[in-house]
Amino acid sequence: MSPQTKQVLNVGKAQLDLLEELTNANGVSGNEIEIREIIRKKVAPFVDEINVDGMGNLLVIKHAKKPNAIKVMLDAHMDEVGFMIVEEDGDGLYEFEHVGGGDERQFVSKPVSVGSQKLPGVIGSKPIHLASEDEMNAVISQQGMRIDLGPAGKGKAKRGDYAAYATKFIRSGDAIFAKALDNRLGCATLIELLKTAPEHVELLAAFTVQEEIGLRGAKVAAYDFYPQLAIAVDSTPAFDFERPDGNENTQYNCKLGGGPAIYIADRGTLSDPRLIRFLTEVAEENKINYQYRQPGGGGTDAGALHLTRGGVPSVSVSVPGRYAHTAVMLARISDWQDTLNLLQQALEALTPEILSGDRA
């Protein structure tokens, strides 16, 4: 470990402005162009290579300045969950499909932004005063919903147009309210880490597409980079409320205020135990607040990364966020800052010896 003063990262105005720009922009899975261009402009001054591959992944390299560098891939997906216009239903009403996971029960009444012109609309359903008593008590299904662009919206949107939630970023004390914190937080994190990358690391940063619909960009990006190890940086749901029945909440996944969530196992990946141990040691040594995400469901780009070619030792780290895949997510600036510092210190402490010995 280098005896120099360690780099401490702070989330200040520049970082929050960046996150605001990223979350307010629209990049539903399959249409990440706007996000990619924001990121490309931001990183260009301090990286060595920038490429966009056949799927639209933004592949960025910051070369090491020392020999025998370890090749590390950091991965953050650019896409967010959203909607796609299917058919006009008259007078500015449009049938739609959702893109990526989403809770149908939470669609109705949400403002959306449609197409490249960002037409304002709202997701509505049959007006309540026209619904029967049965319909009033049932969960509204997506079939009965429409994106309403208002009467002036007639003919303005077409099949295949993407729509995103129209939420605008708000900061309130330690809290951030925004759409797509999953995973603009990851993107913003990678951008910061590219600025301060240590000299003994060959840093391969992949801003990927289409994670939300099956880790599609990551598979391709990792094939190209084929690193010695990979870290997926994402955001994961916090179901951390108290239970109404007073019993202990045993399925919180992770907690707001608990710091970066290190993944042990999710539905797609069994993290490399050497990397779990390594990140834990880095957090403990630097007294950085951290937690383990509960093993169980969910997934990140690591699900594709670790199966690349002959295999890549991988782990994921996420910033906790409430209300994932809805119109407004909630995260804490302190959790994000702890995530930044954990990953910065991890990069600084990284040596090829971390992977010596067998996997587990």
Residue closer to another protein (CB basis): 217 or 227:
227
At its nearest, how many Å lie between another protein and the CB of residue 282? 17
Tell whether omega for the bond before 183 is within 30 degrees of 0, i.e. cis. Answer: yes
> Which residues does residue 263 pair with via DSSP β-bridges, in sequence order?
293
Residue closer to another protein (CB basis): 33 or 265:
265
Residue 68: DSSP 8-state = S
> Any residues with CB less than 8 A from the CB of 199 and at least 6 apart, and which?
64, 65, 66
**Per-residue tokens: 237:** 């749901």
At its nearest, how many Å lie between another protein and the CB of residue 263? 10
What whole-number distance in Å separates Cα of residue 298 and Cα of residue 300?
A: 7
Q: Which of 32, 34, 192, 211 is catalytic?
A: 211
Residues 27, 179: contact at Cβ < 8 Å? Answer: no
At its nearest, how many Å lie between another protein and the CB of residue 251? 7
Residue closer to another protein (CB basis): 308 or 326:
308
At its nearest, how many Å lie between another protein and the CB of residue 23? 30
Residue closer to another protein (CB basis): 48 or 358:
358
At its nearest, how many Å lie between another protein and the CB of residue 274? 10
What whole-number distance in Å separates Cα of residue 41 and Cα of residue 24?
A: 16
**Per-residue tokens: 121:** 């609309």
- What phi, psi does 59 have (nearest 5°)? -110, 120
Residue closer to another protein (CB basis): 5 or 247:
247
- Burial letters 243-260, b for 16+ CB under 10 A, else e: eeeeeeeeebbbbbebbb
Binding site for another protein (CB under 8 A): 248, 250-252, 264-265, 270, 273, 276, 292, 294-296, 306-313, 358-360
Residues 345, 281: contact at Cβ < 8 Å? Answer: no
At its nearest, how many Å lie between another protein and the CB of residue 252? 8
> Any residues with CB less than 8 A from the CB of 172 and at least 6 apart, and which?
none
Residue closer to another protein (CB basis): 236 or 337:
236
211 given a catalytic annotation: yes
At its nearest, how many Å lie between another protein and the CB of residue 358? 5
The residue assigned the tokens 């520049």 is 14
What whole-number distance in Å separates Cα of residue 26 and Cα of residue 117?
A: 11
Question: Rounded to 5, what percent of the chain is helix, strand, coil?
Answer: 30, 25, 45
Residues 84, 239: contact at Cβ < 8 Å? Answer: no
Residue closer to another protein (CB basis): 39 or 232:
232
What whole-number distance in Å separates Cα of residue 87 and Cα of residue 102?
A: 20
Residues identified as active-site: 211
